[in-house]
């Protein structure tokens, strides 16, 4: 989703800047002393500009934490940490400002220096101070590079498209349903917690393109006990759900009793009262159920289209996907 640039570590950033400085080999001037000073200034400015512009590209390459939609802000918070990312970006900006200041100061000192030896001393000192500043933010640069990877994997959502969010306990058949009805290719395996993040698929009904989100499995437990995968699912439900398709597994082959699944359904309804909830029974090929819910089997395909049609109907009638849905707390 977010195409952030690769972030070099401290040594890699310094190597890049000093290579740029080494390419400055001549400078104009009426006298040898002027040429020596101008060349030193050119090398300092080349290194400083390379460092500052690269750091600026990192800062601008990450999403603005104040302007991104709430869904993405929450995804960043559960995967990277909004406060931590803000801290690392602020450190990069501090270093950028400091390097530009050092570059200007060093250029003035070069012009005031007397003799080639003093000029060389000022240049070496400038490079040393550049190195010191960059090394001070070495851990921040490493953290930004680590943060870049999960951001690239975030789902690309259209806030205007009608959206179906598929939720339920782990291993109830959410991914299998999404894979059957959309372009999404979620990982499917016969064990819980296969889905490691929110996956987006698309399908068309007439001229309308729908989004369907496969979310990590939820467990019936308080929010402060939920893991990052569950919190991604909660964020999807809170911010983008036009309709929640809640899947039950009455066969209990998912490994969780139906009573726990029903308690989770109650929690979802209570937490997201403005989102219509369509409750369906999965794995109809494994067990005969009498819960009175629409039943389907993603193995045989029985009932799948009817479930999708009803979800489409509810999503089309619902409020815009960008409207906030969750209660605070």
Please give the share of the chain, as a percent, with pLDDT higher than 90. 37
Q: Which is higher by pLDDT, 235 or 38? A: 38
| Per-residue confidence (pLDDT) for residue 1, from 0 to 100 | 57
DSSP state of 167: E
| Per-residue confidence (pLDDT) for residue 238, from 0 to 100 | 67
Strand partners, 164: 212, 243
Same fold, 10-152 and 163-317: no
pLDDT tens-digit map of 9-44:
999 999 999 999 999 888 787 888 888 889 999 999
Q: What band does 316 get if pLDDT is binned at 50, 70 and 90?
A: confident
CB 118 within 8 A of CB 33: no
Which range has the worst mean pLDDT, 162-166, 184-188, 269-273, 323-327?
Answer: 323-327
| Per-residue confidence (pLDDT) for residue 217, from 0 to 100 | 61
Q: What band does 65 get if pLDDT is binned at 50, 70 and 90?
A: confident
- Residues with Cβ within 8 Å of 321's Cβ and at least 6 positions away in sequence, in order, are 159, 160, 161, 162, 163, 211, 240, 241, 242
CB 242 within 8 A of CB 275: yes
Q: Evaluate if residue 6 carries a pLDDT over 70.
A: yes
DSSP state of 157: -
Q: What band does 229 get if pLDDT is binned at 50, 70 and 90?
A: low
DSSP structure string for 265-318? HHHHHHH-TTS-EEEEE--TTT----S-S-B--TTT-TTHHHHHHHHHHHHHHS
Token duo for residue 271:
């937490």
May I ask the CATH class of domain 163-317?
alpha beta
Q: Evaluate if residue 260 carries a pLDDT over 70.
A: yes
Q: Which CATH architecture has domain 10-152?
A: Up-down Bundle (1.20)
- pLDDT average, residue stretch 153-166: 79
Domain spans of the chain?
10-152, 163-317
Residue 288 CA to residue 285 CA, distance in Å, equals 8
Q: What band does 235 get if pLDDT is binned at 50, 70 and 90?
A: low
What Rg, from alpha-carbon coordinates, does the chain have?
Answer: 28
Report the Cα 45 to chain-centroid distance in Å: 35
- pLDDT average, residue stretch 316-320: 63
Residue 255 CA to residue 169 CA, distance in Å, equals 9
Name the pTM for this structure: 0.67
Q: What mean pLDDT value characterizes the chain? A: 82
pLDDT tens-digit map of 272-314:
787 889 999 988 887 665 677 888 988 888 899 999 999 999 8
Token duo for residue 329:
């707390």
Residue 67 CA to residue 85 CA, distance in Å, equals 15
- Residues with Cβ within 8 Å of 91's Cβ and at least 6 positions away in sequence, in order, are 137, 140
pLDDT tens-digit map of 88-116:
999 999 999 999 999 999 999 999 988 88
């Amino acid at each position: 989703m977010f195409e952030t640039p690769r972030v070099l570590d401290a040594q890699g950033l310094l190597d890049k800047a000093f290579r740029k400085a080494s390419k400055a080999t001549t400078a104009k001037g009426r006298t040898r002393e002027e040429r020596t000073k101008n060349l030193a200034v050119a090398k300092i400015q080349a290194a400083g500009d390379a460092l500052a512009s690269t750091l600026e590209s990192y800062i601008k390459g990450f999403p603005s934490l104040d302007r991104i939609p709430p869904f993405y802000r929450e995804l960043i918070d559960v995967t990277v940490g909004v406060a931590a990312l803000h801290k690392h970006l602020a450190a990069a900006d501090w270093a950028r400002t400091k390097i530009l200041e050092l570059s200007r100061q060093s250029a003035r000192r070069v012009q005031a220096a007397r003799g080639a030896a003093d000029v060389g001393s000022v240049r070496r000192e400038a490079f040393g101070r550049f190195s010191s500043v960059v090394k001070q933010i070495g851990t921040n640069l490493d953290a930004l590079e680590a943060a870049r990877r999960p951001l690239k994997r975030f789902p690309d959502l259209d806030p205007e498209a009608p959206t179906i969010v598929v939720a339920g306990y782990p291993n109830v058949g959410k991914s299998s349903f999404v894979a059957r009805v959309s372009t999404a290719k979620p990982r499917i395996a016969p064990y819980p917690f296969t889905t490691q993040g929110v996956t987006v698929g698309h399908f068309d009904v007439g001229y309308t393109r729908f989004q369907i989100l496969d979310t990590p499995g939820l467990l019936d437990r308080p929010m402060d006990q939920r893991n990052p995968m569950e919190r991604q699912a909660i964020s999807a439900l809170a911010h983008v759900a036009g309709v929640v398709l809640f899947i039950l597994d009455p066969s209990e082959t998912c490994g969780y009793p139906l009573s726990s699944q029903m308690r989770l359904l109650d929690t979802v309804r209570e937490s997201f009262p403005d989102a219509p909830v369509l409750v369906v029974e999965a794995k109809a090929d494994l067990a005969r159920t009498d819960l009175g819910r629409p039943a389907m089997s993603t193995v045989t395909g029985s009932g799948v289209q009817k479930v999708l049609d009803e979800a489409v109907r509810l999503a089309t009638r619902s409020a815009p996907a960008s409207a906030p849905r969750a209660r605070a707390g």
